[in-house]
Chain A
């Protein structure tokens, strides 16, 4: 396990609602690689083995959330229209009246903010197995963020390379600021860090495990 910097260079815009946790991303990549089916009950939720080191206390993985800056914001829309033409030509006799202003057939046009990142890059730092991380990301992760199904967040290139740690706290604390969600009593944190209810271990969508954490200011 060595200090690593991971860089994703994107091909275009990304729909990023929250910063992306590297350990969560690697966990999802392992699930995709192994064909793990989505859990159906709370008891089935498990984080697979990932090639990243855990902290000595075992409370978090030594990996940051993504760091990137928006250079341009762009709005696009998701539209849905009920297939009226098909309803007229292929609907049963019982399909006589369709309400397109409300109910299940309602048409919608939902705005979606996407962004172009400075230098088209997102960065993470971690302590892990360089080759295994590179293999997982390049083979399994082609798109990042939301609306991947319509090509948002397409990755042009993954760069995984060794780096010099920035000192005490690497990689989860930098200059007293948390680089991921951390328990508030984590050593080295500045006293005025931002706090919020978050999950400390992947999967991060497991809201039942939320606890008060010190969180990066950009998340």
Chain B
């Protein structure tokens, strides 16, 4: 039998710091991140970028997508810390709060804003203090800025830090400081959703009545084709559907930055937890079921209070596990303080998530 003791730790240490992480990410699989569909062609997100002599459109992953990625990671880290991943039992409002930031539902007492409640909210779910959200008629402002993940290419290189361009050139096999055009990183692919009724082996699996219906439709289709009857041809056509979509080619390199103004050591560790858990298994965009969207961080620049902190590197050390690629000797592994803080309030967090109105 185990017992859980919930303690109230000492007041957090106040220490204001602006912390910014700049990542070079590499697409380990093609990425499908679509802005709209014209006909049956889905277009990749593009944004305008000023280049000498005009403005060009360049592929990018929206900041909203990247922000959702870290919010989702923070939610899973919180649930993991309170031991709720095996039996989360979340209400609709808790799901909305953790995974979509919640919303002002119009319920609750909006006339009286309880500062104690705000403090409790941020204490129980520290990521809310950084990313912001809405709960119990209270809008919690965020302190985090997440930028677009922008394709590193000839058009965008003048907007990127020098180290990022140098790394990307080396990674993509170009001379130092040279990159090719962003137009080379979009590919248009075609896929077909098959009609299983076109496969005779699968037709054999049908019941007798259904098989007769399919065979009748095939005959009707052939007859309509032979007699050039457009209406009958349309009524009896198969449901095969070719579709095309743009995707960012595998191996593309993206530049992404996230920054936050932190006021306590806990907030700094929460930021690290959100970012590093997100980067440990970052998958973005659509068509994930067919392996699209896997991102891997290949280089990192950490900036504190507008000053670069240490050399450019990549670190993937989470909660002391073995994902270390480059060792960091100067800091404890991210996530320890966050995990201990939330775990110490596990019962309260569970109660809060059950009754929250968000």
Interface residues of A (CB under 8 A from B): 11-13, 32, 35, 38, 40, 71-72, 74, 76-83, 86-87, 90-95, 98, 104-105, 116, 120, 138-139, 142-143, 148-151, 154, 156
Given contacts A86-B95, A149-B67, list 8 more A-B pairs with CB under 8 A.
A12-B49, A12-B50, A87-B92, A116-B50, A142-B145, A149-B145, A150-B145, A151-B146
Task: Say if the beta carbon of B206 comes within 8 Å of chain A.
Answer: no
CA separation between A70 and B333, bound complex, in Å?
46
Contacts of A35 in B (CB 8 A): 16, 263
CA separation between A78 and B65, bound complex, in Å?
10
**B23 → A minimal CB distance (Å):** 13
Task: Say if the beta carbon of B159 comes within 8 Å of chain A.
Answer: yes
Query: In the complex the two chains form, is A87's CB within 8 Å of B148's CB?
Result: no
Query: In the complex the two chains form, is A150's CB within 8 Å of B306's CB?
Result: no
Task: Say if the beta carbon of B132 comes within 8 Å of chain A.
Answer: yes
Task: Say if the beta carbon of B237 comes within 8 Å of chain A.
Answer: no
Query: In the complex the two chains form, is B115's CB within 8 Å of A91's CB?
Result: no
Query: In the complex the two chains form, is A76's CB within 8 Å of B62's CB?
Result: yes
Given the known inter-chain contacts A74-B48, A83-B99, A116-B50, please indicate yes or no for A95 contacting B146, CB distance below 8 A.
Answer: no
Convert B137-152 into 0s and 1s, putting 1 for each residue whose CB lies closer than 8 angstroms to a CB of A: 0000110111110000
**B358 → A minimal CB distance (Å):** 8
**A8 → B minimal CB distance (Å):** 15
CA separation between A190 and B238, bound complex, in Å?
72
Pick the interface stretch among B83-91, B292-300, B315-323, B341-349: B83-91
Query: In the complex the two chains form, is A80's CB within 8 Å of B100's CB?
Result: yes
Contacts of B147 in A (CB 8 A): 150-151, 154
Contacts of A105 in B (CB 8 A): 92, 96
Contacts of B48 in A (CB 8 A): 12-13, 72, 74, 116
CA separation between A122 and B64, bound complex, in Å?
25
Given the known inter-chain contacts A150-B62, A151-B63, please indicate yes or no for A72 contacting B55, CB distance below 8 A.
Answer: yes
Query: In the complex the two chains form, is A139's CB within 8 Å of B306's CB?
Result: yes
**A68 → B minimal CB distance (Å):** 14
Query: In the complex the two chains form, is A92's CB within 8 Å of B96's CB?
Result: no
Convert B141-172 into 0s and 1s, putting 1 for each residue whose CB lies closer than 8 angstroms to a CB of A: 11011111000000000010000000000000
CA separation between A92 and B96, bound complex, in Å?
13
Of A38, A98, A151, which contacts B145 at CB under 8 A? A151
CA separation between A74 and B79, bound complex, in Å?
39
CA separation between A155 and B124, bound complex, in Å?
34
**B343 → A minimal CB distance (Å):** 19
Given the known inter-chain contacts A83-B99, A116-B55, A149-B132, please indicate yes or no for A91 contacting B92, CB distance below 8 A.
Answer: yes
Contacts of B100 in A (CB 8 A): 80-83
Contacts of B105 in A (CB 8 A): 104
14 A-B contact pairs sorted by A residue (CB < 8 Å): A11-B159, A40-B115, A77-B35, A80-B100, A87-B90, A90-B79, A90-B88, A116-B55, A149-B142, A150-B63, A150-B145, A150-B148, A151-B145, A151-B146
CA separation between A83 and B99, bound complex, in Å?
6
CA separation between A80 and B99, bound complex, in Å?
10
Those 7 A-B pairs whose CB atoms lie nearest each other, nearest first: A151-B147, A150-B63, A83-B99, A90-B88, A92-B89, A151-B63, A104-B105
Query: In the complex the two chains form, is A40's CB within 8 Å of B113's CB?
Result: yes
Query: In the complex the two chains form, is B146's CB within 8 Å of A150's CB?
Result: yes
**A76 → B minimal CB distance (Å):** 7
Contacts of B252 in A (CB 8 A): none
Contacts of B306 in A (CB 8 A): 138-139
Query: In the complex the two chains form, is B99's CB within 8 Å of A78's CB?
Result: no
Within residues 257 to 300 of chain B, which ones have a CB less than 8 A from any CB in chain A?
A: 257, 259, 261, 263
CA separation between A83 and B90, bound complex, in Å?
12
Task: Say if the beta carbon of B327 comes within 8 Å of chain A.
Answer: no
CA separation between A77 and B35, bound complex, in Å?
9
CA separation between A154 and B20, bound complex, in Å?
13
Contacts of A138 in B (CB 8 A): 306
CA separation between A76 and B64, bound complex, in Å?
11
CA separation between A35 and B62, bound complex, in Å?
30
Task: Say if the beta carbon of B218 comes within 8 Å of chain A.
Answer: no
Query: In the complex the two chains form, is B49's CB within 8 Å of A95's CB?
Result: no
Smallest Cβ-Cβ distance to B14: which chain A residue: A35
**B1 → A minimal CB distance (Å):** 26
CA separation between A82 and B306, bound complex, in Å?
36
Given the known inter-chain contacts A83-B100, A92-B89, A139-B306, please indicate yes or no for A151 contacting B95, CB distance below 8 A.
Answer: no
**B83 → A minimal CB distance (Å):** 14
**B304 → A minimal CB distance (Å):** 13
CA separation between A162 and B108, bound complex, in Å?
52
CA separation between A12 and B115, bound complex, in Å?
37
Given the known inter-chain contacts A38-B141, A151-B146, A151-B147, please indicate yes or no for A87 contacting B95, CB distance below 8 A.
Answer: yes
Contacts of B144 in A (CB 8 A): 149
Smallest Cβ-Cβ distance to A87: which chain B residue: B95
CA separation between A157 and B304, bound complex, in Å?
18
Task: Say if the beta carbon of B47 comes within 8 Å of chain A.
Answer: yes
**A176 → B minimal CB distance (Å):** 34
**B115 → A minimal CB distance (Å):** 7
**B50 → A minimal CB distance (Å):** 6
Smallest Cβ-Cβ distance to B305: which chain A residue: A139
Of A13, A40, A71, A150, which contacts B64 at CB under 8 A? A150
